[in-house]
Structure 1
Amino acid sequence: MSRQSNRTTDSKKMNSELFTLTYGALVTQLCKDYENDEEVNKQLDKMGYNIGVRLIEDFLARSSIGRCQDFRETADVIAKVAFKMYLGITPSVTNWSPAGDEFSLILESNPLVDFVELPDNHSTLIYSNLLCGVLRGALEMVQMAVDVKFVQDTLRGDNVTEIRMKFIKRIEENVPAGDE
């Protein structure tokens, strides 16, 4: 019986490592295809956004989470459920703004950066920028416009990885005429 559980753990670790290496190959190819880091960062954000737009349906179906009442509850669901479900980590939610419309996700470890070192000629590359796009795309699908950006990154020598999220506005659903 314990052998089977070890296989499950080994399988998850292998899947995680395969994903990390595949993601690394994607970023490497983008660096070859585009002239500068800023354009690569934009492409990673765009790809992440498209993933987030599609991933939210899977998340809502698998998690059975209802509509969040406020941005604080949204932050907790992102950290304690979404990151755990898809990346196997639970970031800390900290640094709330006084207005309660902005917070930081602190990642003690970022599985996307395992086995990664940024070359000197890519000092402005935001390697995990895909995550910002995923968060932005997923939240837009549940009528929340947010700004998401990296503030700190362990790949740049910081102690932790910090993603800053700012609530911009609630998106009103546009119902086509006659469908009311």
Structure 2
Amino acid sequence: MSKQYKGIGEDLWKSRPEKVNAELFALTYGALVVQLIQDYEDYTEVNKQLDKMGYNIGTRLIEDFLAKSGIGRCADFREVGEVVAKVGFKSFLNITPTVNHAVPPPPPSPGQRPASTGPMQASAGSSFSLIFDENPLAEFVELPEEALEGGLWFSNVLCGVIRGALEMVQMQVTAEFVSDVLRGDETTEIRVKMIKYLDEEVPPADD
């Protein structure tokens, strides 16, 4: 299954006609972050704004992604991680982060009712990490000391994209950077955690 997803991602990237020059993309994004810093003068708020922008992008990208990939509902959150990394990131950014799956939470003890039911709801608390060997957003970037001290996550837009896209397919998740080579860490890692499965809204009955 993992190899199959990798092939789908590569095919989608090759067939995408509207590829953007990587250098131009990186410079444009960098200019956006600089403008946000100037506007808000608070790195925590900049992180929030980048996440919000990414969320809005993710809610729009998912329709195109599903239509072109032909991928249906995932069986579990582990498969979600494989699709996000090998198909999502590959098809849009031409990168394939490594996926590390966390050990799922233990089952409830005898006599204890589970918090939720259903195939995806039972995965609440499951998580995976995306480890990036390369990050096209961060090319040519060196963060100043005040940004490091202020807690800036330069590529936080990616977390928003993941949140927005998965919410559109009824999965509420958290997505956050836990390390970044721009901040002096050994790796760049995003951790995605399942909160709950969102029931599809039932249309109101006619009066």
State if a TM-score over 0.5 links the two structures.
yes
Please list every run of at least 4 consecutive aligned residues from structure 1 whose deviation after the TM superposition is greater than 6 angstroms: 11-14
Q: Is the Cα contact below 8 Å between 1:83 and 1:91 reproduced in 2?
A: yes
TM-score when normalising by structure 1: 0.89
Q: SS at the partner of 1:177? A: coil
TM-score when normalising by structure 2: 0.78
Task: Identify the residue that residue 183 of structure 2 maps to in structure 1.
Answer: 156
Separation in 1, partners of 2:83, 2:136: 19
Please tell me the residue identity of whatever aligns with 1:64: G
2:195 is the alignment partner of 1:168: yes
Task: Identify the residue that residue 60 of structure 2 maps to in structure 1.
Answer: 54
Q: How many residues align?
A: 170
RMSD: 1.9
Task: Identify the residue that residue 127 of structure 2 maps to in structure 1.
Answer: 102
Change (3 A) 1:78 1:103: same
Q: Is the Cα contact below 8 Å between 1:48 and 1:134 reproduced in 2?
A: yes
Separation in 1, partners of 2:184, 2:18: 28
Question: Which of 43, 49, 72 pairs up with 2:78?
Answer: 72
Offset at 1:172? 0.6
Q: Is the Cα contact below 8 Å between 2:51 and 2:158 reproduced in 1?
A: yes
- What is the aligned-residue identity percentage? 63
Question: Which of 146, 161, 171 pairs up with 1:121?
Answer: 146
What 5-or-longer segments of structure 2 have no aligned partner?
Answer: 1-13, 106-122
Q: Is the Cα contact below 8 Å between 2:78 and 2:101 reproduced in 1?
A: no
Change (3 A) 1:71 1:57: same
Please tell me the residue identity of whatever aligns with 2:79: E
Change (3 A) 1:14 1:137: closer
Change (3 A) 1:120 1:57: same
Q: Is the Cα contact below 8 Å between 2:172 and 2:194 reproduced in 1?
A: yes
Separation in 2, partners of 1:108, 1:12: 24
Q: SS at the partner of 2:73? A: coil
